[in-house]
Amino acid sequence: MSETVSKTARWIDWANPTRFMTFAAAFLPWLGGLTTLVLAVGFWMSMQAPDDYQQGATVKIMFIHVPFAWLSMMCYTIMTLAALGTLVWRHPLADVSAKAAAPIGAVFTALALVTGSLWGKPMWGTWWVWDARLTSVFVLFLMYLGIIALTRAIDDPAKSAKATAILTLVGFINIPIIKFSVDWWNTLHQPASVLRMGGSTIDPSLLWPLLVMAIGFTLLFFTLHMQAMRNEIWRRRVVAMRRVAARSAERRTVQ
Amino acid sequence: MGALFIRDIRLGLRAGGGVLIGILFFLAVITVVPFGVGPDLKLLARIGAAMLWIGALLATLLGLDRLFQADRDDGSLDLLIMASERHMLALTVLIKCLAHWTVSVLPLVVASPLLGLFMNMEPAAIGATTLTLLVGTPAITLIGAVGAAVAVSLPRGGLLVSVIILPLTVPVLIFGVSASYGAVEDPAPFLAPFLILAAITLFFAVLGPLAAAAALKSSAD
Cβ of B164 within 8 Å of Cβ of A146? The answer is yes
Q: Tens digit of pLDDT for each residue in B111-140?
A: 888 888 888 788 888 888 888 999 989 999
Give me the phi and psi of A192, to 5 degrees please: -55, 130
Chain B residues whose CB is inside 8 A of the A149 CB are 160, 163-164
CA B178 – CA B193 distance, rounded (Å): 7
Residue A110 confidence (pLDDT):
93
Pick from A213, A222, A216: nearest CA to A194: A213
State the pLDDT at residue A255. 62
| Whether the predicted pLDDT of A9 surpasses 60 | no
Q: Tens digit of pLDDT for each residue in A53-106?
A: 666 677 778 888 888 988 988 999 999 999 888 888 878 788 888 889 999 999
Whether the per-residue pLDDT at A206 is higher than 70: the answer is yes
Distance CA B22, CA A22 (A): 55
Torsion of CA A145, A151, A154, A160, to 10 degrees: 140
Whether A167 and A150 have beta carbons less than 8 Å apart is answered as yes
State the nearest Cα–Cα gap between B14 and chain A, in angstroms: 31
Nearest to A108 by CA among A151, A146, A75, A79: A75
Q: What local confidence, expressed as pLDDT, does residue A2 receive? A: 46
CA–CA gap between residue B16 and residue A157 (Å, rounded): 35
Is A166 buried (19+), middle (13-18) or exposed (0-12) by CB count in 10 A? buried
Q: What is the pLDDT of residue A1?
A: 41
Helices (H), chain B: 2-14, 18-37, 41-63, 66-73, 76-82, 89-100, 106-118, 123-150, 157-165, 170-184, 191-220
The residues near B51 (Cβ < 8 Å, ≥ 6 apart) are B29, B30, B33, B44, B119
pTM: 0.79
Binary contact (A177, B171; C-beta < 8 A): yes
Q: What's the mean per-residue pLDDT of chain A?
A: 81
Contact B163 A159 (CB under 8 A): no
**Does B211 contact A at CB distance below 8 Å?**
yes
Number of domains composing chain B: 1
Residue B193 in this model has a pLDDT that exceeds 80: yes
Q: What is the pLDDT of residue A103?
A: 92
Check CB contact of B199 with chain A, cutoff 8 Å: no
Question: Which of A193, A167, A180 is CA-nearest to residue A79?
Answer: A167
Span A103-136, pLDDT tens digits: 999 999 999 999 888 888 877 777 777 777 788 8
In sequence order, what E strands does A107-197 have? none
A28 interface with B at CB cutoff 8 Å = no
* Residues A141-191: tens digit of each pLDDT: 988 998 898 888 877 777 788 888 888 888 888 777 777 766 666 556 666
Domain hosting B215: range is: 2-219
- Confidence label for A14 from pLDDT (cuts 50, 70 and 90): low
- CA-CA distance, A111 to A63, in Å (whole number)? 13
Q: In whole angstroms, give the CA distance from residue A176 to residue A73.
A: 9
For B197-220, write each residue's pLDDT tens digit. 899 899 889 888 888 888 888 776
- Domains in chain A: boundaries: 29-194+201-229
